[in-house]
Structure 1
Amino acid sequence: MASAPKDKAAKPASSSRVDQQMIRDLADLLNETGLTEIEWSEGPLKVRVTKAGTPVYAAAPVAAAAAAAAVAAAGAAPAAGDDASHPGAVKSPMVGTVYTAPEPGAAAFIKIGDSVNAGQTVLIVEAMKTMNPITAPKGGRVARILIENQQPVEFGQPLLIIE
């Protein structure tokens, strides 16, 4: 009879014990896949591992919105309408976050004055954790870049002008 209470007391202690190697494996999986969060559960045990760094992306939309408001207040809003109707405008095909380089710290895909060929990747728009390459619809010279790195963009928003 004395052994039954010991077994009951021992069982919760072992099931609530966290396997540190499993947590390390989950963290490695985050790094390998590029995910920012992963959750695993087995019975009453639930483990969630998240990667720091997300607040960096949260700050970018605020800065971009403030910059856009400042430009609009300065009277540059009519130019944005002209850019959208420009025949060389490259517009965003989706809502997302635009990236000007293939990875952080890398050189930008293009800069003002560069010559581009039709089909050449000029930007990336991230939507729902998927990186979507934006290609030049025609060849020409990059006349204007209308966005900044990590700026949120809307569907149909002009991103750059190719002349």
Structure 2
Amino acid sequence: MASTPIDTDAVRALADLLGETGLTEIEYDTGEVRLRVAKSVTVTATAPVAAPAPAPTASAAADTVEAHPGTVASPMVGVVYLAPEPGAPNFVAVGDTVAEGATLLLIEAMKTFNPVRAPRAGRVSAILVNDATPVEYGEPLFVIE
């Protein structure tokens, strides 16, 4: 089995892209060479300190949104676009009624624009992402009631 020399410039470019987009991993495949660059995220836990019960936080609200049956989650890692092209109106707005299968937004992954469609009919009660921002797999995007 012949070994392929490592293209350090490509690895550096992928690492820079991770930093720019806020993603935790990225993969590049040319058919002959496959590169995967990932960064680890360290979470440290601290011992709880006795204190009065805090007010609900954004993370508590996020947990509530994720548990909502109408939450539409990201099917992939990529960059979200709320409109079909720059300057065009968004696909949907809060308060809009959507039909099942209607396009809610686009996610660009590997230079391909992938439509995210409404899994059911209903009213858009929340848009949880901003235009042209990176998203992770499973991240809540919309709530449809």
TM-score where L is the length of structure 1:
0.55
> Unpaired segments of 5 or more residues in structure 1?
1-57, 63-73
Residues 1:142 and 2:124 aligned together? yes
Match of 1:154 in 2: 136
**Alpha-carbon distance, 1:75 to partner:** 2.7
Decide which structure has the larger Cα Rg and report it. Answer: 1
Q: Give the 5 Å matches for 1:14-163.
A: 61=21, 75-163=57-145
**Alpha-carbon distance, 1:132 to partner:** 0.2
> Unpaired segments of 5 or more residues in structure 2?
1-18, 23-55
The letter of the residue matching 1:96 is G
Match of 1:51 in 2: none
How many Å separate the matches in 1 of 2:60 and 2:100?
28
RMSD: 1.7
The letter of the residue matching 1:115 is T
Q: What percentage of aligned pairs have identical amino acids?
A: 52
The letter of the residue matching 2:99 is N
**Alpha-carbon distance, 1:83 to partner:** 1.1
Query: How many residues are aligned here?
Result: 94
Match of 2:29 in 1: none
How many Å separate the matches in 2 of 1:145 and 1:123?
10
The letter of the residue matching 1:105 is G
Match of 2:39 in 1: none
Higher relative contact order, structure no. (Cα contacts within 8 Å, ≥ 6 residues apart): 2
Query: Which 4+ residue blocks in structure 1 deviate beyond 4 angstroms?
Result: none
**Alpha-carbon distance, 1:99 to partner:** 0.4
The letter of the residue matching 1:87 is P
